[in-house]
A and B are shown apart, each in its own frame.
Chain A
Amino acid sequence: MADEEEDIILSELNDEELVQQMFDDLYDGLREEIEEGVNILLERGWEPYRVLTEALVGAMTIVGNDFRDGILFVPEVLLAANAMKGGMAILKPLLVETGAPRMGKMVIGTVKGDIHDIGKNLVAMMMEGAGFEVVDLGINNAADAYIDALIAEEADILGMSALLTTTMPYMKTVIDQLAEKGIRDDYIVLVGGAPLNEEFGKAIGADAYCRDAAVAVETAKDFISRKHNQMAAG
């Protein structure tokens, strides 16, 4: 029994075993272990971008899938995101230095009149966990605030969140203003929030409604890759 309970020494694992162990550790929200794993892979000569995509994003995808499927819930996801953050803090400056490809940038916030931000915070965390850059505008955002940030940040994605049925329609106001300025199609517009549904997303002219944070990440990845394909084809 004593043998089975012995600590796993991360540095003694080969690359493949280590990545698998990091998948487990991120799933369990073990921040220090994730930081250690990231450092070991870097010492072994892994490119920062490879550590991000193969170890961290790979691990977070599993967390996201189990969250989507109702196997994990908010507390576990918050712990995993916290572990991810630890790893990202090490990688971020290195990614900038090495000019690693960007996943994409999202501007996110709850809409004007809506101060409920737990869902929005989850999406921001999961998006960061998936390697996206996130500009969080916080709560109660007017259309101008979103649009100014989209332009200033050269963002790819706009994420809007509303918990109240009374604030949901404001999402349409923001999309309409983007259209008036002739820049609606420059951005991927994702909407979410407890009372929304797919029908609503379509009715207001969003690109997609995202049921939860995990779906938001998958949808964002999907749209970004399509955008890249289009650019390659064009």
Chain B
Amino acid sequence: MTHPLARLLETRDWLLADGATGTNLFNMGLSSGDAPEFWNEDHPDRIKKLYNGAINAGSDLFLTNSFGSNASRLKLHDAQHRAFELSKLAAEIGRECADASGRTVIVAGSMGPTGDIMEPMGTLTHASAVEMFHEQAEGLKAGGADVLWVETISAPEEYRAAAEACALADMPWCGTMSFDTAGRTMMGLTSAAMVDLVEGLKHPPVAFGANCGVGAADLLRTALGYVDAGATRPIIAKGNAGIPKYVDGHIHYDGTPELMAEYAILARDAGATIIGGCCGTMPEHLSAMREALETRPRGERPTLDQITAALGGFSSDSDGTSGEPVETRRSSSRRRKKS
């Protein structure tokens, strides 16, 4: 299987991904509540600026502006019928920017969660999740994406549905989840459990990992969890630029470019191959990360203490990977009457 990302991974031992999409677009005037994907049509110049911001800062790979271009998310804007079209536009603009860059830059077609909770807890069926992701995937493929990029997923069921959709679209893919609740995803998945999930897929991702979540420190603990669980495929680390703070009526992420450069180095030493940022990560952060990755030598695997010393504390004491049984307050010993 040879595709541009696989070829790039063969020649390099780390790749710099991109940073924030939302934070950048809001700075260009996007109002909260509006669908950023509409800008693929209404303001392609601004989307180019977003992509070129990452490319010029040295990113080897960037995500398209299509995070919410699935039918379920677009429905909130009465645009559920435009999933294919808006996804395709996002990738087309990306293709154009990547081809004009004069070097190999991967166009990764972003696919965010549907926002619905899947059966049996929620209402979204596996079949309709696959269908929605597939529609988005075909749009991104038609627009010229090199690889599909599933991100910010919380539920293993949704990750599986996305994998199936990528297979239907006959596209290589990468997939990251968001670990924001006591070191696990909102649905309780640990980093170790994600490795099992990934390896059990019929159409496994080229690379897998974590994005967003809480802070950069938590994200690196997750990366170490992957390594300890025996992960063999490339690990992706896309952490937020620190923690959001409220300053003079605006939100500001407290992670400086210097801090994100430290994070990038620690991520590489922890075992990540594709390293980038998420919310709050601007081109100046990416430039600092690129410089650090190029100039600083590889180091030993960082300890948890070294991570917190450099990036700040974790959001929880444990991330559920210690292997110790969790002590619940009630037993679940009852035999279910209807099993």
A, B in one complex? yes
Residue on A with the closest CB to B122?
A78
Identify which of A91-99, A162-170, A226-234 touches chain B. A162-170
Q: Judging by beta carbons under 8 Å apart, are A24 and B32 in contact?
A: no
Q: Judging by beta carbons under 8 Å apart, are A71 and B33 in contact?
A: no
Q: Judging by beta carbons under 8 Å apart, are A114 and B187 in contact?
A: no
**Whole-angstrom distance between the Cβ of A140 and the nearest chain B Cβ:** 6
Contact with B along A84-121 (1 / 0, CB 8 A): 00000000000000000000000000001111101000
Classify the secondary structure of B's interface with A.
Answer: loop
B-side contacts of A116, CB under 8 Å: 115
How many inter-chain residue pairs (CB < 8 Å) link A and B?
118
The CA-CA distance from A170 to B338 in the complex, in Å, is: 47
Q: Judging by beta carbons under 8 Å apart, are A66 and B328 in contact?
A: yes
The number of residues on chain B lying at the interface, defined by a beta carbon within 8 Å of a beta carbon of chain A, is: 47
Q: Judging by beta carbons under 8 Å apart, are A75 and B121 in contact?
A: yes
Identify which of B4-12, B162-170, B225-233, B239-247 touches chain A. B239-247
Range of interface residues on A (Cβ < 8 Å): 35 or more
The CA-CA distance from A172 to B290 in the complex, in Å, is: 38
Q: Judging by beta carbons under 8 Å apart, are B32 and A72 in contact?
A: no
Q: Judging by beta carbons under 8 Å apart, are B121 and A78 in contact?
A: yes
Does residue A207 face the partner (Cβ distance < 8 Å to B)?
A: no
A-side contacts of B253, CB under 8 Å: 165
Residue on A with the closest CB to B214?
A194
A-side contacts of B331, CB under 8 Å: 24
Q: Contacts A65-B329, A70-B182, A115-B33 given: A139-B251 contact, CB under 8 Å?
A: no
The contact of B329 among A5, A28, A62, by CB within 8 Å, is A62
Tell me the B313-337 residues at the A interface (CB within 8 Å).
Answer: 316, 318, 320, 326-337
Given contacts A71-B327, A71-B328, A166-B251, 12 further A-B contacts (CB under 8 A): A5-B335, A7-B337, A8-B335, A23-B330, A24-B333, A70-B184, A79-B121, A118-B115, A118-B117, A164-B22, A166-B32, A172-B249
